Chains A and B, each alone.
Chain A
């Protein structure tokens, strides 16, 4: 699996694209992306279009990102989920913490 980051033009938003299985093996990579991100970034978008699956470690990573981005004040969107990914987000009720589009 790979994680890649695309910053937006004005530097206040970032899109993180997940490809393949999103699990513990991408922990290091995922963390590096948001830890190295500019503090000006206010909106994170996780693009799941190419993601096939996520496990509970991936949910944990999303929580870490949320914490990093300001907890309850963070603005994190998750988009283009396939059915399996959406199901996992639904079961864990992550819709209460993230904007799932």
Chain B
């Protein structure tokens, strides 16, 4: 009984990512066709060469037909997967295992979400019939519970924490301003973010991820075959996933200052990849900054900061673009919005660019000494979530 991982058995040889924005003129089909076309071109393979497909979408379609129909695939297996906000990463995880198992030579993972056709701001879950006793709070409301709990536990003045959270948003806005695929490309100062009215707890809309449509995709092959397609493959080092049991909602021991699922997924991923000190071994990380307190707490859950210290590291600039460990170099969910099925693959796309030294100069980080990147998703609410952690590297070993 163990999580063995598939370190260095599988590699990514091509990726594509649409612009993330309010694609009023693009349907789910259009976004899928655009992302897949770019990805196939990036890998240098034809559509028919892909043996099996995994489609991640939370709410934009059901079944593999959602992908097979617009792409006119010919007798290929396509599986639609959903795992809350980790949906895109989950599609990739399945594609990687399929190749590692030897079942297929080439597999594709595609993620898409068409959020902006609902007519409402924010993400909207489709209703599953229930007994009517479920919470009605927004995700912003649920994650806003983290800020006062964190401030209280570590004795931080709430106004000071307010500025720390704004600094996280400001950093991600700054990175996103350097990214042509991002939804929001405007720098935001800490002062201007702090001046915004609160909508949930102490959070303003600038503490929340944007809402956008988008798609992204990746082609995976066996590591041994990778150099046939590209001289700069990205190797899969770790794929970890935890579905929480929701006990945080019922257990008075849970104090809203950490996400156990993320910590567990991170530990599993580090074991798979052979990482002992993520803060110094990773070149960068793309984490699920759905709300600013989420990114703060994740720095501790993922082992980048000691417990109770993340706010100081944030203030010290440790996670800035050219800091100690750059976080969300592409601008994160903050700048990209969160098309649920696509986000995990969008994060990987940034690692793909950075680890191959193909990011635009203004946001390219140094990956010569450190060739490892981490992507992280979570979905659900504090105490009741799923979490994915993937680790990727630009060299074997």
Partners in one complex: no
**Chain B residues within CB distance 8 Å of chain A:** none
**Chain A residues within CB distance 8 Å of chain B:** none
